[in-house]
Amino acid sequence: MNRILKRPLPRNLRPPDPLPDDDTPALRFTPYAWSKLQFMCHVGDTEIGGFGIAREDDLLLIEDFVTVKQHTTAISVEFDDAAVADFFDDQIDVGRQPEQFARIWLHTHPGDSSHPSCTDETTFQRVFGTCSWSVMAILARGGQTYARLQFSAGPGGSMLLPVMIDYSPAFTGSDQEAWLSEYKQNVIPQPVFKQRGHKHEDEIDPFDVDDVFDGVFDDREVLV
C-alpha cells in the first residue's frame, strides 16, 4: 500500500465529490455563488449570514449568495429586520418568487465546524418551520459544509443534503471588489462586550423580529 495515501486528504484538498445521480437531491452552488460564499467566509473573523438565490426552475441550485445588513460576532449573526424586508422587496421587484430567495438560509462559521449551533436550530425551526420546505446550510472556514432540507408538508421531515459545486450551468466571473464592498456595507462586527440587550451570544437570533416575514408580506402563508 502506498503509505503516502494511507491517510485521507483534508476535506478542502480533496477533489469535489461527483454530482449525485438525478434521484439524490443535493444543494448545488454555481462556481460564482460558491466563490462568493467562500470569500465572505474568509474576509472577516465573524459569522456572516445571508440568503441563497435559487434558479427558478432548479430551486436547489444556488446562483448567488446575498447578504443583508447584520451585526455579527464569531458565533452569532443578527440581521437588521428592515434590511431583510428591503431585500425581500427588491427580490419581488426583480420578479423572483419567495421560493427562490427566502427558503435557503446560508451562513458561515469562522472555525472548523459547520455543525449548527442550538441557536441555529432554534432559528431554523422558528423562522422557516412553517415553510413548505427550507434549507439551512453552513460553510465553515475549515472547509466543512452542512446542509439540511426540512419540509412541513404531510408529517414533515428533514434530510441532510450533500453540498456540491455545479459547473454545468453557465456562470459569471468573480467580483471580489463588489463582494468586499457588500461586506463593508452590510457586515458590522460587534465587540462581544457591545452585544445589544442582555442576551448571551448563543441566544442571539439572526431574525431579530418575530414577524419580520409578516412585515414584508401581509400574510406569512405566502411563504408556505
Pick the closer one to Zn ion by CB: 117 or 152: 117
Phi, psi of 33 (to 5 degrees): -65, -40
| In the complex, least distance from residue 122 CB atom to Zn ion, rounded to whole angstroms | 11
Distance in Å, CB of 217 to Zn ion, minimum: 26
Q: How far is the CB of 78 from Zn ion (least distance, A)?
A: 12
Q: Which is nearer to Zn ion, 166 or 206 (CB)?
A: 206
> Closest CB to Zn ion among 97 and 144?
144
User: What contacts 205, CB < 8 A, 6 or more positions away?
Assistant: 78, 119, 122, 123, 126
CA distance 42 to 45: 7
Closest residue to Zn ion, Cβ-based? 120
Strand partners, 163: 27
CB 179 to Zn ion: min, Å: 21
In the bound state with Zn ion, the residue whose beta carbon lies nearer, of 99 and 201, is 201
* Rounded least distance, CB 18 to Zn ion, Å: 28
Q: What residue type is 161 in one-letter code?
A: L
Q: Which residues bind Zn ion (CB under 5 A)?
A: 117, 120
The grid coordinates of residue 26 equal 443535493
How far is CA 192 from its chain centroid?
Answer: 23
Four-residue CA torsion sign, 206, 217, 106, 42: negative
Q: Report the residue number, 137 or 164, with the smaller CB distance to Zn ion.
A: 137
Phi then psi for 157, rounded to 5 degrees?
165, 180
